[in-house]
């Protein structure tokens, strides 16, 4: 079984319990866990944020995967994570776009490196779209010398 799938939890069948829990977590200022003996442990803000995101997604019927950033993946698992083919991933690795290790015959990729790549790719796409939008606006303002005729 893949490392990522070991950390994936499918949402329970449709239930208002998750929606109620999501609403309670959104409204909570300083929630805590209550142990069976009644003692309370405050949830740190970071844990609360992860819990809110997980419950919100599961309430919407989405599966949740929780994995440490230092998780090491096979190339197939890494490709699946990025939603690309394995050959495309291997090309990104060999081109140096995404770092990897090769402790034996097989390449291994850290989850944190995949997340970094995703963030860089999104940023680059946004910059390209913003530039295209600026150019289109400039073309509209200056005109391209053509007029539509009927």
Average pLDDT score over residue span 92-113: 95
CA 135, 141, 142, 143 torsion-angle sign:
positive
Highest mean pLDDT of the ranges 19-23, 55-59, 88-92, 102-106: 88-92
Task: Using pLDDT thresholds of 50, 70 and 90, give the confidence band for residue 38.
Answer: very high
The per-residue pLDDT for range 58-88, each reduced to its tens digit, is: 988 888 888 888 899 999 999 999 999 999 9
- The pLDDT, as a whole number, for residue 1 is 45
Q: Write down the pTM of the prediction.
A: 0.62
pLDDT of the residue at 75:
96
Distance between CA 28 and CA 48 in Å, rounded? 9
Q: What confidence tens digit (pLDDT) does each residue in 134-150 have?
A: 888 887 776 655 555 55
Q: Measuring CA to CA, which residue among 67, 66, 54, 49 is closest to residue 11?
A: 54
**Whether residue 20 has pLDDT greater than 90:** no
Residue 3 has pLDDT above 80, yes or no: no
Share of the chain above pLDDT 70, in %: 88
First vs last C-alpha separation in the chain: 63
- In this prediction, residue 82 carries a pLDDT of 94
């Amino acid at each position: 079984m893949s490392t990522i799938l070991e950390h994936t939890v499918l949402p329970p069948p449709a239930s208002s319990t998750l929606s109620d829990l999501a609403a309670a977590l959104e409204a909570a200022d300083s929630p805590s866990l209550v142990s069976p003996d009644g003692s309370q442990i405050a949830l740190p803000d970071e844990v609360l944020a992860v819990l809110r995101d997980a419950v919100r997604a599961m309430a919407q019927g989405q599966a949740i995967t929780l994995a440490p950033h230092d998780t090491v993946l096979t190339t197939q698992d890494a490709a699946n994570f990025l939603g690309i083919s394995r050959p495309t991933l291997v090309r990104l690795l060999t081109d140096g776009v995404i770092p990897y290790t090769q402790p034996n015959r097989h390449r291994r990729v850290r989850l944190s490196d995949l997340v970094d790549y995703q963030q860089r790719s999104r940023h680059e796409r946004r910059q390209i779209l913003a530039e295209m939008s600026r150019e289109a606006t400039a073309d509209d303002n200056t005109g391209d010398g053509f007029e539509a005729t009927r």
